[in-house]
Chains A and B, each alone.
Chain A
Amino acid sequence: MRKVFGAIAVFLVLSALGVVAFLYSGMYPIGATTQHSGIIYRAVDTLVRQAVMESAKDISPPGNLEDPDLRRAGLILYRGWCLQCHGAPGVAPSPFATGMNPPPPPLVQTAREWQAKEVWWVIDNGIAMAGMPAFRFKLTDEEMWAITAFVASLPELSPAAYAAMVKEAEANPGFAARRGKGGGS
């Protein structure tokens, strides 16, 4: 019995030393230019997806997310706070965004695969170590729901319909007006 514990202790100490040696070795390819291996990619993807589903499970939308006024307000806010990174139908993200690793994806596919409450949770909390900021303290809950409502409508928006909606929303911004253009301005 003593021997077994001894062996385990030696193993643990050696493992810890190995980890420390790796941290200090400078060998990890830390550049954003390096591609993750397939295994790491899938592991992180699963980790994020499962954590977001679990965290958002008790949230429910305060009202009707299909309300056109809410979506228009969400569009204005989206253009101020999200567009630079995620782009929009027919609109590229800012050049800096595509150099991020992971790169911010267009949200049209997310809108098809995620529930609205999960999108809301991610806006509120961000995603650690991924470059997705938390917007708590920057946007109110109501504003985050408006953005969520807009994101949920992305699968129905062609690039042309999006452009038309921008025109319309700028003429009639609703409650988003008091926010102006958001973070960038």
Chain B
Amino acid sequence: MRGLKFAVPALAAMLVLPACQEEEEARSLEPPALVGADTERGKLALRLHGCTTCHVAPGVVGGNQRIGPTLVGFTSRRYVAGSLPNTPENAIHWIVSPQAITPDSAMPDMGVDYETARDIVAYLRSQTETEWGSGS
């Protein structure tokens, strides 16, 4: 009985501490392009700019839109739209002007300004869910 009293908190600490550490690390690794971005605004913009009519997006209620690739697990994708290395700058650039990068892409220029695109990318990168479950 005695032992259990200590075991439970110790076990909890073991589970929680590494998670905190990881989060701390993630925050200190925040790319300069995204410092100060507003993830909540980015999440709302995913709907109000029509992104979710083509994409399934993490944390956004919707159907099974398959016109564009799912944005769940976007962080771990290596290339943006199959051509640009997946850096925050490139992702922002793509969202602002996909047609300048891939003329005739099925993703039209949606009239998103730089700041909003930055918020969207910050939101997508803050989501650790992947297509296969949670984790990153």
Contact = CB atoms under 8 A, between A and B. Distances in A.
Interface in B55-86: 60-63, 65-67
Contact of B108 (A35, A36, A87, A104): A87
Contact of A159 (B54, B61, B66, B106): B106
Interface residues on A, range: 20 to 34
Q: Secondary structure of the A side of the interface? A: loop
Given A35-B61, A37-B61, A98-B110, A103 B105 contact: no
Contacts of B50: 92-93, 97-98, 103
A158 interface: yes
A143 B22 CA distance: 60
B48 A33 contact: yes
Contacts of A98: 48-50, 53, 110
Contacts, number: 56
Contacts of B105: 90, 159
Contacts of B110: 92, 98
A122 B17 CA distance: 55
Nearest to B107: A90
A103 B67 CA distance: 15
A89 B106 contact: yes
Contacts of B108: 87, 90-92
Nearest to B63: A45
Given A90-B104, A90-B108, A104-B53, A109 B65 contact: yes
Interface in A136-185: 158-160, 163
Contact of B53 (A90, A106, A160): A106
Interface string A36-51: 1110010001000000
B27 interface: no
B44 interface: yes
A103 B47 contact: yes
Given A35-B60, A160-B104, A109 B99 contact: no
A45 B65 CA distance: 13
B54 A103 contact: no
B115 interface: no
A18 interface: no
Given A95-B111, A109-B67, A90 B106 contact: yes
A68 interface: no
Nearest to A40: B61
B127 interface: no
Interface in A38-87: 38, 41, 45, 87
Given A103-B47, A158-B106, 4 more contacts: A35-B60, A41-B62, A89-B106, A101-B47
Contacts of B53: 98, 103-106
A109 B62 CA distance: 14
B44 A33 contact: yes
A50 B67 CA distance: 23
B109 interface: yes
A9 to B, nearest CB: 38
A65 to B, nearest CB: 22
